[in-house]
Structure 1
Amino acid sequence: MHQASLFDSFFLGGFECSNHRRSDGRRLDLIDVTGHEQWAEQDYALLRQHGLRSIRDGLRWHLIEPTPGQYDWSSFLPMLQAAERQGSQIIWDLCHYGWPDHIDIWRPGFVEHFARYAAAVAQLVKDESDRVPFYSPLNEISFWSWAGGDVAYFNPMARGRGFELKHQLVRATIAAIDAIREVDPRARFVQVDPAIHVVAPNDRPGPVREAEDFRLSQFQAWDMLCGTLWPGLGGGPEYLDIVGVNYYSDNQWYLNGPPIERNSPDYRPFRGILAEIHHRYRRPLLVAETGAEGDVRGDWLHYVSEQVWLAMQQGVPVEGICLYPVVDYPGWTDDRHCPVGLFGFPDANGERPLHQGLADELQAQQVRFNPHTEPAILTSSP
């Protein structure tokens, strides 16, 4: 069985840090509206109490570079310093769908700006911490390309330009990795994208081919980064370090139809998806996002953890599972309360309520994956 060793804890907590512009032009800031900006240090301490010593969190590039080439670290430095004080290991998202308004994402300048910004972040992190840094340069290149480049769901609100946007995001990622490594060669990188499975609703050749083409599209960004697809973009094996796999209950669906239910014979076990990704890239894997809404949170974590355990038994190098988001958040499109987290929204003192069902399952799975560690504190906040 593979023994995980990359992160301080096998289970991680991830803070929703999207800051894109919606199709109506409104910019989101999930770090702010979830209360994480105000209570970052308290949040990190809370996660450590529950055994989550490794964390996914993010920067807000649009706040850091409001003027071209000039950086304001006031939105990030307090979080970085709080993480250091709490001893939390952070995978920092450099860009979670949002970028400064003064940059045109379609132009070469986007790549150049992002690389300079990434280098500046790396220097600041190096100055503040002795830890080996972990970065996720551009979150979900494949999903972003589809949502922003094909269906105009969010910025850059384009249609029919998804593949073009994917190229641009890959170029920017490669440039950022080079820039960061110039500052700190120790840096590690998690390339995060959704893992999907698509099935044709019938066995007609046309739909079967279309479904399989859609399924295979999940590999395009990773293939571009490692240079096996469109090598002219500059990719190579050194740009695919840790493969981040995002997986939710709706990541399998019928072509042009509804999600595939987990009890359906058409549903592909998650362990098989992980094994295929490992066979394709031979890189360490991180389940970088997974979670469910409402009372099924614990049941979903049980399923994902069991599948990861079975995959690891077969030698698939899964290094961790990230509960994402680890706190509740308001929905992107309608601001509704999305009850998905291990913790809820903070009160006036920054205290967050605990979801006991998910907490109980987390405790059970922590014992499964590392039976020699002390049990986490899994009681409700006072």
Structure 2
Amino acid sequence: MEATGHYRHWRTDLELVRSLGVQALRYGPPLHRVFEGPGRFDWSFTDDVVAQMQRLGIEPIMDLCHFGLPDWLENFQNPEVPDALAEYARAFAARYPAVRLYTPVNEMYVCARLSALEGAWNEQRRDEVSFVRAVRHQARASVLMMQAIARERPGAIFVNSESSEFYQACCPDGRIQDIATFENERRFLPLDLLYARPLGEQMREHVRRCGMPDAEYTWFMNQDVRRRAILGVDYYDWNEKVIDHAGSPRSLGELFGWTVIAGQYHARYRRPLMHTETNHMDAREGPRWLWRQWHNVQMLRASGVPVVGFTWYSLIDQVDWDVALRSPRGIVSPVGLFDLNRDPRITGQAYRHLVKMYSKELEGDPRIEDVLHASGTAVREEQEAVHA
């Protein structure tokens, strides 16, 4: 937000949102600036932004924790993180009662993987125990945050944004196939804990070996935060991977596509879906990628899956996004609908055209509350069937 100039140009940026014809915005208040310590908050920047959103008629989907923490909380190995983030979520909901849409912790799988398996972010570790611990703390934080917000704002709706992942074995080698099978199960671990879906035998034993107490696992299985939850499924052209002969994941590009991969997530969790992130690193290819993703959304909706939203990431270009902010190089990634001068890119023009073209057709959609009610009925029926 600093590197892209958003702190200086946030008013202009919100005007750009309205110029596109959209009425909702995924937005991440700067957690590290707001949450100064236990019971200490600086709301000055967020107060101004929220007030301007209300004046412009923009409904925010507040992204409370996006990949990082304030320095005083250190990193996701810290067992104090879940309770601290729950305190932040409760305070946020109390201060902004008009906000109804929240993402508690963004992309738990990606955050845990890059922080604790690949050594890039936060704790910068590279071991399975640290990965499982990061997942446990993020998933617990998400549950506690959702519960804290719901107590302050009973009508709140949660968009649990997660990266879609898929692993394909390169060959009929049994060892490679076993790695792909394990990775395809591990991708679901944070959401399984969040939505109280019992782990498979292999993953259950894996998290036990990595230090997850049985009592903590039981706690997760006894929570129920699904009823007000929309599952956000992000997709980029590197989300599908092949396990090569060395047993390492390599990007496959767009092989099956968002419809197939998101369909796997829907089949597992039976939640309404939202396409919560996508873009293309080549600005010239952006419009084609935009329309492909939109047609994927249409195809899944036509099959009867409730898809309630679609997001391009991001409004403006990013800086050092191509290396996942591993180092401050100052290189602009042209992924925005607008460049850093706030001039529209061709993808931005295509996005505005898409919104205009389909807005009337989508006006007939059921309200999100009605979609959630129908999904809640499905959850109850599923639970009754399991009990029977």
TM-score bracket, normalised by the shorter chain, equals 0.7 to 0.9
Partner of 1:155: 122
1:272 to 260, 267, 285: 260
Decide whether the 8 Å contact of 1:225 with 1:235 is kept in 2.
Answer: no
Partner of 1:7: none
1:344 aligns with 2:333: no
Distance change >3 Å, CA 180–CA 295, structure 1 → 2: same
Percentage of matched positions with identical amino acids: 25
1:367 to 351, 354, 357: 357
1:137 to 101, 104, 122: 104
TM-score, length-scaled by structure 2: 0.80
Partner of 1:353: 343
1:225 to 194, 198, 222: 194
2:308 to 319, 331, 337: 319
Partner of 2:251: 259
Decide whether the 8 Å contact of 2:147 with 2:225 is kept in 1.
Answer: no
CA drift at 1:38: 2.1
Distance 2:87 2:351 in 1: 42
Amino acid at match of 1:35: G
Distance 2:49 2:240 in 1: 35
Distance change >3 Å, CA 284–CA 56, structure 1 → 2: same
Partner of 1:305: 294
Alignment of 1:45-194 (within 5 A): 45-104=15-74, 105-126=76-97, 129=98, 133-160=100-127, 161-194=130-163
Distance 2:169 2:362 in 1: 45
Question: Which structure would you say has the larger RCO, counting Cα contacts within 8 Å and 6 or more residues apart?
Answer: 1
Partner of 1:202: 171
Amino acid at match of 2:8: Q
Amino acid at match of 2:302: Q
Distance change >3 Å, CA 67–CA 323, structure 1 → 2: same
CA drift at 1:314: 0.5
TM-score, length-scaled by structure 1: 0.81
Gaps in structure 2 of 5+ consecutive residues: 199-216, 364-388
RMSD: 1.9
Decide whether the 8 Å contact of 1:54 with 1:88 is kept in 2.
Answer: yes
1:44 aligns with 2:8: no
Distance 2:279 2:137 in 1: 29
CA drift at 1:152: 1.4
Distance change >3 Å, CA 254–CA 120, structure 1 → 2: same
Question: Aligned to 1:192, what secondary structure does the other structure show?
Answer: strand
Distance 1:55 1:110 in 2: 26
Gaps in structure 1 of 5+ consecutive residues: 1-30, 347-351, 374-382
CA distances 1:246-275 after superposition (whole Å, capped 9, x unpaired): 10011112112532244xxxx213212222
CA drift at 1:323: 0.5
Question: Aligned to 1:221, what secondary structure does the other structure show?
Answer: helix
Question: Aligned to 1:102, what secondary structure does the other structure show?
Answer: helix
Distance change >3 Å, CA 54–CA 235, structure 1 → 2: farther
Amino acid at match of 2:60: I
Distance change >3 Å, CA 269–CA 102, structure 1 → 2: closer
Question: Aligned to 1:276, what secondary structure does the other structure show?
Answer: helix
Distance 2:314 2:72 in 1: 29
Question: Aligned to 1:253, what secondary structure does the other structure show?
Answer: strand
Decide whether the 8 Å contact of 2:279 with 2:289 is kept in 1.
Answer: yes
Greater helix content: 2
Decide whether the 8 Å contact of 1:137 with 1:189 is kept in 2.
Answer: yes
Partner of 2:237: 249
